[in-house]
């Protein structure tokens, strides 16, 4: 197929996929922000950014929506999310394909991203009947002490390009059942999948009598639009996913107005391979963790610490896998590694590899692939770099498929190196010795928000709380009790007696009013 024919068909396919879910970019053809597909670099749509005043008005409408939505019983709010999950199920194929075209994930991962949305909807439906508080024993007679959780308000969601829709759903499904309205600023690189999801939510809302206008709002635009959302005091909770550089700014901005920020930022994830590891299993896990999604997951495996006893048994096999992994058009079934998102990502990868070479690294792969891939996309062979130490680029997140491999002599050394970076998202250990694995999971082990055993660092399930420490931002989303971040906590003491005892034995006997303590 000629490049011109390919250009024509991708753009047409995107329009058809958007039409399937009832969405259409509102930018006139030839106007607005150009959206490129990383598959070929071609423009697949134009879309208009919202202005600052449109964004502000939309936030106002979301606040109004919140005022009525918070009064809808939580299980009913759960029913809304159940219907959203059904709509996602019905449109999984179309949405998954759109993810592939807009982000470059292979088909199975595009579908997996939509499945993740469905899963969190299911989770949130159950949660809608379990938004529980606590009752504590009061120190005062005839008193009850309790806490309950109330809706927080408008939740602002700022999302990154690499999970263009799942991250919204992690936040939104919980926020909706918690009684909040949601305003979403997706990545400027991936507005089309956002548009498709917004269309599905609006369809569900249209046939849900209690859903107010403005319950779910999409603000298409770049950083400037995100800044409006992040700076607005009518948005008490901001969940921001993206680079550490973004989180540093957003976190301070939200803190400056005493809002709550849920920060999900960059990772620099590691795995440790111990002498007792099942190497066949480790190989498979490492391959997916480091090369899957073309290295563009926050949880992508970026550092591998291999015990010297198994280094020679593992690393040559891994290098061979790197040389043979099929790189190519993610829409075809035999590709396992699609393109990088854009040229800037490619340039950042090449710069990191140069830096690694200068620091003594031995680089395998990493070059641009032009044979057998669509023209115009930035396809690369994943790079495996044997490093003499954890220096230079190893300490940073380069959002590309680069795996730095280092030899270690002890588990202590490996854990020390793993933790000695600014990021703290995900980690894993490969060992069949429970002393190793328990040490790794203990208070003196991994310092990350995620620590897996005999698995890779990526591919988290939605049932657990997701997030990381240090420069990864400290936020938690998705499962477990992450829902609490989308609500406000109210503590209440209730006196059902006829005396007025004060806590901590304090007395305050104002003349003529009688004793305060019985």
Q: Which two tokens stand for residue 374?
A: 């669509």
Q: Which two tokens stand for residue 102?
A: 């807009």
Compute the least distance from the CB of residue 459 to ligand NAD, in Å: 13
Compute the least distance from the CB of residue 45 to ligand NAD, in Å: 17
Binding mask 467-486 for ligand NAD (x = CB under 6 A): -----x--------------
Among 25, 226, 365, 501, binds ligand NAD (CB under 6 A): 226
Binding to ligand NAD in span 32-71, by CB under 6 A:
none
Residue 250 as a binder of ligand NAD (CB under 6 A): the answer is: yes
Nearer to ligand NAD among residue 265 and residue 287 (C-beta): 265
Nearer to ligand NAD among residue 322 and residue 466 (C-beta): 466
CB burial readout 259-290, b (16+ within 10 A) else e:
bbbbbbbbbbbbbbbbebbebeebbebbbbbb
- d(CA 263, CA 154) in angstroms, rounded, equals 16
CB burial readout 314-330, b (16+ within 10 A) else e:
bbebbbebbeebebbbb
Task: List, in sequence order, every residue forming a beta bridge with 306; answer none if it has no partner.
Answer: 273, 407
Compute the least distance from the CB of residue 226 to ligand NAD, in Å: 2
Cβ atoms within 10 Å, residue 223: 12
Count of alpha carbons within 13 Å of 449, Cβ hemisphere only?
A: 28
Range list of H helices, 70-213: 74-90, 92-103, 107-127, 166-177, 191-206
Nearer to ligand NAD among residue 113 and residue 397 (C-beta): 397
Measured in whole angstroms, the distance separating CA 155 from the mean position of its chain's CA atoms is 16
Binding to ligand NAD in span 331-370, by CB under 6 A:
none
Among 183, 230, 380, 482, binds ligand NAD (CB under 6 A): 230
| Count of chain residues binding ligand NAD (CB under 6 A) | 29
Residue 242 as a binder of ligand NAD (CB under 6 A): the answer is: yes
Beta pairing class for 134-136 and 143-151: antiparallel
Q: What are phi and psi of 27, to 5 degrees?
A: -75, 140
Burial (Cβ within 10 Å: 0-12, 13-18, ≥19) of residue 300: buried
Among 37, 40, 128, 162, binds ligand NAD (CB under 6 A): 162
Residues in the chain: 518
Which residue stretch of 86-94, 244-252, 320-328, 364-372 sits at the interface with ligand NAD (rule: CB under 6 A)?
244-252
Nearer to ligand NAD among residue 222 and residue 275 (C-beta): 222
Residue 163 as a binder of ligand NAD (CB under 6 A): the answer is: yes
Among 120, 158, 169, 220, binds ligand NAD (CB under 6 A): 158
- 89: nearest Cα among 169, 167, 19: 169
Residue 249 as a binder of ligand NAD (CB under 6 A): the answer is: yes
Compute the least distance from the CB of residue 347 to ligand NAD, in Å: 14
Q: Which two tokens stand for residue 309?
A: 């006893």
Q: Establish whether 413 is a catalytic residue.
A: no
Residue 160 as a binder of ligand NAD (CB under 6 A): the answer is: yes
CB proximity list for 355: less than 8 A, separation 6 or greater: 392, 393
Residue 246 as a binder of ligand NAD (CB under 6 A): the answer is: yes
Active-site entry in 113, 188, 227, 264 = 264
Cβ atoms within 10 Å, residue 470: 18
Task: List, in sequence order, every residue forming a beta bridge with 406; answer none if it has no partner.
Answer: 305
DSSP 235-264: --EEEEES-HHHHHHHHHHHHHTT-EEEEE
Task: List, in sequence order, every residue forming a beta bridge with 134; answer none if it has no partner.
Answer: 147
Compute the least distance from the CB of residue 163 to ligand NAD, in Å: 5
Compute the least distance from the CB of residue 496 to ligand NAD, in Å: 46
Compute the least distance from the CB of residue 40 to ligand NAD, in Å: 20
Compute the least distance from the CB of residue 34 to ligand NAD, in Å: 16
Among 78, 164, 191, 266, binds ligand NAD (CB under 6 A): 266
Binding to ligand NAD in span 177-196, by CB under 6 A:
185, 187-188
Binding to ligand NAD in span 386-405, by CB under 6 A:
397, 399
Residue 172 as a binder of ligand NAD (CB under 6 A): the answer is: no
Binding to ligand NAD in span 204-223, by CB under 6 A:
222-223
Report the catalytic residues: 264
Binding site for ligand NAD (CB under 6 A): 158-163, 185, 187-188, 222-223, 226-227, 230, 241-243, 246, 249-250, 264-267, 298, 397, 399, 425, 472
């Amino acid at each position: 197929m000629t490049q011109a024919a390919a250009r024509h068909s991708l753009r047409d396919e995107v329009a058809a996929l958007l039409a399937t879910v009832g969405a259409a970019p509102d930018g006139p053809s030839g106007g607005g922000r150009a959206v490129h597909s990383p598959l070929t670099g071609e423009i697949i749509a134009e879309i208009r950014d919202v202005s600052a005043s449109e964004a502000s008005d939309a936030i106002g409408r979301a606040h109004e929506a919140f005022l009525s939505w918070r009064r809808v019983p939580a299980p009913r709010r759960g029913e809304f999310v159940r219907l959203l999950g059904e709509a996602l199920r019905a449109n999984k194929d179309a949405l998954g394909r759109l993810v592939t075209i807009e982000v470059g994930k292979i088909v199975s991962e595009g579908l997996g991203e939509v499945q993740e949305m469905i899963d969190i909807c299911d989770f949130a439906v159950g949660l809608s009947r379990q938004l529980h508080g606590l009752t504590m024993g009061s120190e005062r007679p005839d008193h009850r002490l309790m806490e309950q959780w109330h809706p927080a308000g408008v939740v602002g969601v700022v999302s990154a390009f690499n999970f263009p829709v799942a991250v919204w759903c992690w936040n939104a499904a919980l926020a909706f059942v918690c009684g909040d309205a949601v305003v979403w600023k997706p990545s400027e690189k991936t507005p089309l999948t956002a548009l498709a999801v917004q269309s599905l939510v609006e369809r569900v809302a249209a046939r849900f009598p209690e859903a107010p206008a403005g319950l779910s709002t999409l603000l298409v635009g770049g950083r400037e639009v995100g800044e409006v959302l992040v700076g607005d005091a009518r948005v008490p909770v901001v969940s921001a996913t993206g680079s550490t550089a973004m989180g540093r700014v957003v976190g301070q901005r939200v803190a400056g107005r005493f809002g709550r920020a849920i920060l999900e930022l960059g990772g620099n994830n590691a795995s440790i391979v111990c002498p007792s590891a099942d190497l066949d299993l480790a190989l498979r896990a490492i391959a997916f963790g480091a090369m899957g999604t073309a290295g563009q997951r926050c949880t992508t495996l970026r550092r591998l610490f291999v015990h010297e006893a198994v280094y020679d048994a593992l690393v040559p096999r891994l290098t061979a896998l790197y040389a043979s992994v099929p790189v190519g058009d993610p829409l075809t079934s035999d590709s396992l590694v699609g393109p990088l998102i854009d040229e800037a990502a490619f340039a950042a990868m090449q710069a990191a590899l140069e830096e690694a070479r200068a620091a003594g690294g031995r680089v395998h792969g990493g070059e641009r692939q032009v044979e057998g891939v669509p023209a115009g996309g930035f396809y690369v062979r994943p790079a495996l770099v044997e490093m003499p130490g954890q220096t230079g680029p190893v300490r940073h997140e380069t959002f590309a498929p680069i795996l730095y491999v280092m030899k270690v002599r002890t588990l202590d050394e490996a854990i020390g190196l793993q933790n000695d970076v600014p990021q703290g998202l995900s980690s894993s250990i490969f060992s069949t010795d429970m002393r190793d694995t328990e040490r790794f999971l203990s208070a003196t082990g991994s310092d990350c928000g995620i620590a897996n055993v005999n698995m890779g660092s990526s591919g988290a399930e939605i049932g657990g709380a997701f997030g990381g420490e240090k420069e990864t931002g400290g936020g938690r989303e998705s499962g477990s009790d992450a829902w609490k971040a989308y609500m406000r906590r109210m503590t209440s003491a209730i006196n059902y007696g006829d005396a007025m005892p004060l806590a901590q034995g304090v007395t305050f006997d104002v003349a003529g009013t009688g004793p305060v303590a019985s």
